[in-house]
Amino acid sequence: MGLLNKYLLRKATITITGLIVFAICVLLLERLLRIFQIVSNSVNPAQDASTMIVNLLPYYLGMAVPMALLLGVIITVDRFSRSSELTSALGSGVSLFHMTKPFILLAVILSIIAFIVESIMIPVGRYEYRHAVHRVKQQSFTAALREGTFTTVGNRTFFAGTDLAGDAIGPIFIYERLKKNGEQIGIRITTAGEGQLIVRDDTNEPVLQLADGFSRQISSEKVLDGDLSFEGTAMAGASSDKLFRPRGDDERELTSQELFKHRHGTAEFTISKEVNNAALHLRIGKSILLLILPFIAVPFGINYGRNPSSAGIFIGVVLLVSLQKALEFGQSLGAKGVIPPWAGIWPTIFAVACFAFYLFRKSAFKMGQPPLTSFSHMLRDVLGWIQKEVADTRAKLFPGRRDV
């Protein structure tokens, strides 16, 4: 690799790495608010929040890589053009395709990384994140009771005092709505002098053990149906007493290897064959798409002349977002069985490849203005026409008036 290619490779690598880090941080900000709400009543909020964030990182990395690659190449080529280095390189006989080789190398590396992330890290991380949320919600009941606040779990509302010595809490008040076939048939009120919270090792389920209490049941007609005193009893505080479900209930939790094994619908998963194959084609298509992006980004970043255009970044972002939505729409059609699973992904990838081939060929092998220069000029003409029409309309509506 020559000095020029090493120079471009270094510049592009720094730019793409910075964009990936920046994109992950921005994408995490919105999710952090929800994570803080989830762990607000957790026994160990710092550890639980860190676990959730770590499991979310692969997902946001998969989202950031295509955008960072496209924008990183556009920005690198744009800076190379603005400093007249591109003109000098072309004038010395270096072809545009030769200068694109470092970006192709980066695309190959990022494509492999993205496929590994999409195939293994994101499915496992998604499941572990959901598992962590389930566990925190199960255990948040414990922390809320120890703070002496009203806590509602399912049909029960709990309150416990916190002025007892040791691990005991009390006095305890429990209000429970009794339902049958979805209709409320009465309420049950339970009180106890003290209680103790424990967490079952097998299910991570918090259980409230009560001592020396009373339980009264009142029907919907406000009639006392039962009056029971007890020396000791236990009451589950979690919304579910079952272990978290095994991985594989969602195609997004399956690795690409598992999706490949289930492509004929023979593996032991609950998802349909169409949903499975649509997800598999989407993952492979995203990796192939990264190999095409440099051939779009390089023409978008080229600038000649004294008034270079900055439309490449804007159009690149719009193009990539539109492409992502098109692939998701195609996957949804394939998952529903409206079209074959492959037909929702690969025609779009083929169309993008043809567009990239045409755009790069026009830029590399034909003399003329960069592809986006005409678009920039057209946009400037449209804006100028709009400003002229606004000025003419203002002059007609307010004759003799001059703007200060």
Q: CA-CA distance, 396 to 390, in Å (whole number)?
A: 10
Q: Which of 2-6, 16-20, 52-56 has the lowest mean pLDDT?
A: 2-6
Q: pLDDT tier at 163 (50, 70, 90 boundaries)?
A: low
Residues 171 and 224 in one domain: yes
Q: Which tens digits make up the pLDDT trace of 91-146?
A: 788 888 888 999 999 999 999 999 999 999 999 999 999 888 877 776 666 665 66
Domain count, the chain: 2
Residue 17 lies inside a defined structural domain of this protein: yes
111 vs 311, residue with greater confidence: 111
Kindly state whether residues 185 and 104 are assigned to the same domain: no
CA dist 5 and 60 (Å) reads: 30
Q: Considering the domain boundaries, does residue 101 fall inside one? A: yes
The parent domain of residue 353 ranges over: 3-136+247-389
Please identify, among 216, 236, 256, the residue that sits at the C-terminal boundary of a domain: 236
CA 338-341-346 angle, 5° bins: 115
Report pLDDT for 240. Answer: 46
Q: What is the pLDDT of residues 175-185, one digit of tens each?
A: 888 877 777 78
Do 359 and 293 form a contact (C-beta atoms < 8 A)?
Answer: no
207 and 299 assigned to the same domain: no
pLDDT top residue among 80 and 159: 80
- pLDDT on residue 329: 93
- pLDDT score, position 146: 60
Give yes or no for residue 239 having a pLDDT over 70.
no
Average pLDDT over residues 389-404: 69
pTM (predicted TM-score): 0.72
Q: Are residues 90 and 25 both part of a single domain?
A: yes
301 lies in a domain?
A: yes
pLDDT at 191 over 50: yes
Q: Looking at the structure, do residues 254 and 373 belong to the same domain, yes or no?
A: yes
pLDDT at 212 over 90: no
Claim to verify: residue 29 and residue 129 sit in the same structural domain: yes
Comparison of pLDDT for 267 and 37, the residue scoring more: 37
Q: Strand 206-219 to strand 151-153: parallel, antiparallel, or no bridges (unpaired)?
A: unpaired
pLDDT tens for each residue of 63-95: 999 999 999 999 998 888 888 888 788 878 888
Are 283 and 382 members of one domain? yes
Residue 57 and residue 24 share a domain: yes
Select from 208, 236, 264 the last residue of a domain: 236
- What is the rounded CA–CA span in Å between residue 126 and residue 90? 47
Same domain, 192 and 330: no
Look at residue 32 and tell me if it is in a domain: yes
Distance, in Å, from the CA atom of 146 to the CA atom of 324, rounded to the nearest integer, reads 47
368 — pLDDT class (breaks 50, 70, 90)? low
**Band of the pLDDT at 365, cuts 50, 70, 90?**
confident
Share of the chain above pLDDT 70, in %: 79
Q: What is the pLDDT of residues 43-67, one digit of tens each?
A: 678 888 899 999 999 999 999 999 9
Higher per-residue pLDDT: 246 or 293? 293
Lowest mean pLDDT of 67-71, 310-314, 334-338, name the range: 310-314
How sure is the predictor about 238, in pLDDT bands with cuts at 50, 70 and 90?
A: very low
> What pLDDT sits at residue 37?
79
d(CA 141, CA 153): 8
Q: Judge if 80 and 186 occupy the same domain.
A: no
Instruction: Classify residue 221: in a domain, yes or no.
Output: yes
pLDDT value of position 38: 80
Domain presence at residue 145: no
Question: Is 150 within a domain?
Answer: no
Dist. CA 289–CA 14, nearest whole Å? 22
Residues 255 and 373 in one domain: yes
Angle made by CA atoms 167, 170, 173, in degrees to the nearest 5: 140
Q: What is the dihedral sign for C-alpha 328, 331, 333, 335? A: negative
pLDDT averaged over every residue in the chain: 81
- Let me know whether 51 and 108 are in one domain: yes
Q: Which of 211, 236, 261 is the last residue of a domain?
A: 236
Strand partners, 235: 208
Which residue(s) pair with 180 in the sheet? 183
In this structure, is residue 66 part of a structural domain? Answer: yes
